[in-house]
């Protein structure tokens, strides 16, 4: 059986962490938890994956996230304008 030798999940950003676990869940679903001999562990793991997804949706939708997104647009526009000014000069 193949094993993940090392993956420092603490270094992942929120979405990267969730995407990794979503892919792992897909593989577990494909090969079935019973055939992988992890049925008991999967029964605990699967609901936690759903809770993480719900938490990420909350973070994406909170008011602070909106302010950060707006600030990102302003920053990007400023950098693009500076880049254009440099090219023209």
**Positive or negative: CA dihedral 17, 18, 23, 25:** positive
Buried b (16+ CB within 10 A) or exposed e, 27-42: ebeeeebeeeeeeeeb
**pTM for the predicted model, two decimal places:** 0.56
Phi-psi region of 4 (alpha: psi -120 to 50; beta: other; left: phi over 0): beta
The whole-number pLDDT of residue 47 equals 92
pLDDT averaged over consecutive 10-residue blocks of the chain (89 residues)?
70 81 91 92 92 82 74 89 88
The whole-number pLDDT of residue 16 equals 83
The whole-number pLDDT of residue 27 equals 92
The whole-number pLDDT of residue 31 equals 92
CA–CA separation, 79 and 29 (whole Å): 45
């Amino acid at each position: 059986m193949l094993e993940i030798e090392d993956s420092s999940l603490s270094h992942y950003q929120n979405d990267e962490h969730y995407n990794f676990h979503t892919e792992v869940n897909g593989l577990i679903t494909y090969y079935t938890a019973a055939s992988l001999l992890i049925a008991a562990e999967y029964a605990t793991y699967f609901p936690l994956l759903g809770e993480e997804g719900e938490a990420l949706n909350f973070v994406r939708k909170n008011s602070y996230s909106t302010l950060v997104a707006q600030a990102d647009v302003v920053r990007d526009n400023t950098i693009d304008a500076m880049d254009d000014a440099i090219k023209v000069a």
